[in-house]
Structure 1
Amino acid sequence: MNEARRSELLATYRDGLLHDTLPFWLSHGVDHQHGGIITSLNRDGSIIDTDKGVWQQGRFAWLLGELYNQVEQRPEWLDMARHTIIFLNQHGFDPSDGRMWFHLTREGQPIRKRRYAFSEAFAAIAMGELAQATGSEQLAKQAQALFLRFVRHNPMPKFTDVRPTRGIGVPMITINAAQQLRDSIELPEANDFIDHSIDAIRRYHVHEDIACVMETVGPAGERLDHFDGRTLNPGHAIEGAWFIMWEGQYRQDAELIALGCRMLDWMWQRGWDQQYGGMLYFVDVAGLPVQEYWHDMKFWWPQNETIIATLLAHAVTGEAKYETWHQQAHEWAYQHFADSTHGEWFGYLHRDGSHSTSLKGNLWKGPFHLPRMQLTCWKILETLVPSS
């Protein structure tokens, strides 16, 4: 990548984060009355629904803490992270079992709990960042306890035991959460958790014989010939790919870098829309129709993960194809998702790039995937040595 392109991209990500994405959420989403953040926002930032997703509270507090620790120690970032953690601690836990809720009212009354413990994972990394920023041993201990609760959680089964499956989501999130907590609180045995999760992905989900990362497999990694078993989520696999590449870079482990790059290569070929551009949401491993009716839509977050993964792959390998892929992913996403009028990104597009809805946020979309992409790419570009 030449210096002009590197500088242009660095400014796009850095300035987009600090002067567009973050101000959008700080201006429109912060709940100064009850604490935390409201994420169900329309295009102009007006509030559509005041319910709060617990995932998004943890993710928002993590972002602010990460910015405070890695970019600049702005008191307003730390204060808002602290206020969000206070809201989580006051309202995010079910006193009957200690588990975290998934969906709350604006005031913090519980509405729904999910079978999985991803609320705990996102709260853990948030508390880790705040512990690092403040030196709080109590927050560090809480972050570790929440992480351990996440990795040791056995969810109630959604289906009968007739067709047992395993998914890529838990080991993937374990890798990233452990990476974050290794950096923020020096989590004991972080590397062991990461090793175990990478091994699970490699053993069960990376299928070399068909050049594919399977989203859902049988207990031993066997492929399942039905709708759920055949459905791939390319953006999810690509997100896992860059977590593994990141770990390879951290350890200077060429094998891990190669594994992450293979995963990216395979899922780019399966997920990139050759007709319209952009990363598809779902595809079938055998090229058959997909059951979910939103299969060919373009969601914001797979584009974010693809932009990170391709840039990181270029940075760690120097291969020109990854720079080309990054340029394609970046330009398509910024052309179709970015809102030059009101800021931030639309969340959901039709396959051809036209808007499906004016939503900027909901229980699933908040200040996480986009600002994490902007921050991560900014930092990658700062270390990238430009070509002459």
Structure 2
Amino acid sequence: MNLSIFRIELQQELQAILDYWINNTVDEMEGGFYGRIDNDNISYPDAPKGSVLNARILWTFSAAFSLTKDPQYATMAERAFSYIQDHFIDKEYGGVYWSVTHRGDIHDPKKQLYAQAFVLYACSEIHRALQVEPAKKLAIALYHLIQEKSFDAIKGGYFEAYARNWQPLADLRLSDKDANEKKTMNTHLHILEAYTCLYRIWPDEQLKQHIILLLKNFDDHIIDQQTGHLHLFFDEDWNVKSGTVSYGHDIEASWLLLEAAEVIGDEALIAGTKALAIKMAEAVIIGLDIDGGLWYEFEKAHNQLIKEKHWWPQAEALVGFYNAWQLSDRHEFLQYAFNNWAFIKQHIRDHKNGEWFWGVYEDYTVMPSQDKAGFWKCPYHNSRACMEIIRRTTKP
């Protein structure tokens, strides 16, 4: 494998992923996109539609248009933005619903900050791609809303979730597997990602300061400075409430934190975050299998490796290890990226029906009863990995 072949293969993979979503997910009857497609490519037209999935579709096709200038990607992005604007935005209380019915009516009205961040992120990206002014206006409005409703001015960081009317909520969990805690690594990572994208189109000084504070949250509380891994759950005082290691989030954060520092142009932060990115990538090496795949999680409390290889940590490993190679010039990092891509091609890509499987077990059997498209299965991680590598391997 060399960089030229790597780039060409990922260009082909990007097109294949986007073709899958164009050909399989558009809901011609009710508008927008199907809420669920299963592992066998069976669509469920009556399934609820998630705001995170729709935001990730919007981000993906906006970014793909910026990269390729293919007009069909612009059409998909515009479709996604229109559906979000018409169905997911709460006109009464502000913010984004968690989900709507297949017909676009309110299904779950809770205000999960993770979802607010993803819609902000996607709206910023379509404005970057197509100069859609209503999208920029919505992104800025969501930023102000997040700061007003969720920002912890005393302890720093952001609270996790609220009821539709922004009142306190007993169950703050993003998913059934998460701890019911007031602050999480995952939401902070994606608020940072969203604010970084917004800053590209709206270089506001106060926004910049909040990005700096988010990077400080990671440095002070979220990153275990001894191990290089991320803590996942916290109470409102930043006391750690979980011992789980998420290898996918570790490697994803390693390059997203640096991207944020670079976008705001803070040289001291850039220098510190470059060193941190290498340290975090080094910490993830222990999560690599000999086949190049990245294991899902390690439960420290039970000394147990979760022997599953999900699609999204593989995508983030491609970028994170490539980024570490660019920063350090250590060839082993590039080889980890190459090995991971070989694993994806052999075991994660669905050669029959298209797109990527949710994941495989230790014996390479495909994880059953999972989605090709759904609340969590989306075109964002894998297409973004392709686009990042394409950009990074393309000579200026």
Q: Give the TM-score category using the shorter length.
A: 0.7 to 0.9
Aligned to 2:31: 35
Q: Are positions 1:382 and 2:394 aligned together?
A: yes
Match of 1:7 in 2: 4
Taking the TM superposition and a 5 Å limit, the aligned residue runs for 1:85-96 are 85-96=81-92
Question: How far apart in 2 are the matches of 1:12 and 1:44?
Answer: 25
1:280 is displaced (CA, Å) by 2.2
Task: Give the deviation of 1:106 after TM superposition.
Answer: 1.8
Structure 2 residue 140 is matched with structure 1 residue 125: no
The answer to whether the 8 A contact 1:178-1:187 is kept is no
Q: Return the letter of the residue paired with 1:149.
A: L
Deviations 1:52-85 (A, max 9, x none): 111111111111112223331x333222222221
CA distance in structure 2 between the aligned counterparts of 1:98 and 1:111, rounded to whole angstroms: 16
8 A Cα contact 2:48 2:101, kept in partner: yes
Partner of 2:68 in structure 1? 71
2:22–2:76 contact (8 Å) kept in structure 1: no
The Cα shift of 1:211 comes to: 4.3
CA 1:299–1:29 in 2, change beyond 3 Å: closer, same or farther?
same
Query: How far apart are 1:21 and its partner, in Å?
Result: 0.4
SS at match of 1:213: coil
Q: Which residue of 1 aligns with 2:318?
A: 307
- In the alignment, the residues of structure 2 paired with residue 330 and residue 127 of structure 1 have an alpha-carbon distance, to the nearest angstrom, of 30
**Secondary structure of the equivalent of 1:349?**
strand
CA contact (8 A) 2:229 2:280 kept: yes
Q: Is residue 56 from structure 1 mapped to residue 53 from structure 2 by the alignment?
A: yes
Per the TM alignment, residue 199 of structure 1 is displaced from its structure 2 partner at its CA by: 0.7
For the 8 Å contact 1:215–1:237, the answer to whether it is kept is: no
Q: What's the offset of the Cα at 1:159? A: 6.3
2:121 touches 2:193 (CA, 8 Å); kept in 1? no
- SS of 2:107's equivalent? strand
1:368 maps to a residue whose letter is Y
Provide the C-alpha distance between the structure 2 equivalents of 1:247 and 1:54, rounded to a whole number of angstroms: 24
* 1:368 corresponds to: 380
2:155 maps to which residue? none
TM-score normalised according to structure 1 size: 0.85
Distance across 1 between alignment mates of 2:182 and 2:87: 33
Q: Quick one: distance in 2 between partners of 1:53 and 1:164?
A: 22
Number of residue-to-residue matches in the alignment: 367
**What does residue 281 of structure 2 align with?**
264
Quick one: which amino acid aligns to residue 219 of structure 2?
Answer: R
Contact (CA 8 Å) 1:28, 1:46: kept in 2 or not? no
Q: Which residue matches 1:135?
A: 131
Change (3 A) 1:259 1:106: same
For the structure 1 residues 286 and 325, does the alpha-carbon distance in structure 2 shift closer, same or farther, using more than 3 Å as the test?
A: farther
Asked whether the 8 Å contact 2:251–2:321 carries over to 1, the reply is no
Paired position in structure 2 for 1:359: 371
Structure 2 match to 1:98: 94
Matches within 5 A, 1:184-263: 184-219=201-236, 221-224=238-241, 229-248=242-261, 250=263, 251=265, 253-263=270-280
Provide the aligned C-alpha RMSD in A: 2.6
The alpha-carbon distance between structure 1 residues 79 and 198, as it changes in their structure 2 partners (threshold 3 A), is same
Cα distance change, pair 189–379 in 1 and its aligned pair in 2 (3 A): farther
Residue 207 of structure 1: CA displacement?
1.9
- State the AA in 2 paired with 1:362: G
Aligned 8 A contact 2:31 2:83 in 1: yes
Residue in structure 2 matched with residue 280 of structure 1 by the alignment: 295
1:24–1:45 contact (8 Å) kept in structure 2 = no
2:360 is the counterpart of 1:349: yes
Deviation, 1:222, is: 4.3
After TM superposition, the structure 1 = structure 2 runs for residues 166-181 of structure 1, keeping only pairs within 5 Å, are 166-181=183-198
State the Cα distance separating 1:98 from its structure 2 match: 2.0
3-state secondary structure, aligned to 1:209: coil
Partner SS, residue 47 of structure 1: coil
Q: Is the 8 A contact 2:58 2:77 kept in 1?
A: yes
Distance in 2 separating the partners of 1:279 and 1:126: 27
Q: 1:203 to 1:188 in 2, by over 3 A?
A: same
Q: Does 1:334 align with 2:345?
A: yes
Taking a change above 3 Å as real, the CA distance of residues 165 and 140 of structure 1, as seen in their structure-2 partners, is closer
Counterpart residue identity of residue 302, structure 1: P
Q: Contact (CA 8 Å) 1:61, 1:85: kept in 2 or not?
A: yes
The answer on whether the counterparts of 1:34 and 1:106 sit within 8 Å (CA) in structure 2 is: yes
Larger deviation, residues 303-312 vs 172-181: 172-181
- Bigger drift between 304-313 and 104-113 goes to 104-113
Give 1:35 shift.
2.3
Distance in 1, matches of 2:223 and 2:129, equals 37
The alignment partner of 1:94 has SS state of: coil
Identical counterparts, % of pairs = 19
1:128-147 CA-to-partner distances (Å, cap 9, x unmatched) read: 23333443433312111113
1-structure distance, mates of 2:207, 2:364: 40
Q: Quote how far apart the aligned CAs of 1:158 are.
A: 4.2
SS at match of 1:375: helix
Distance 1:351 1:102, change over 3 A: farther
Is the alpha carbon distance of 1:363 and 1:219 closer, same or farther for their aligned partners in structure 2, counting shifts above 3 Å?
A: closer
Compute the TM-score of the two structures, normalised by the length of structure 2. 0.84
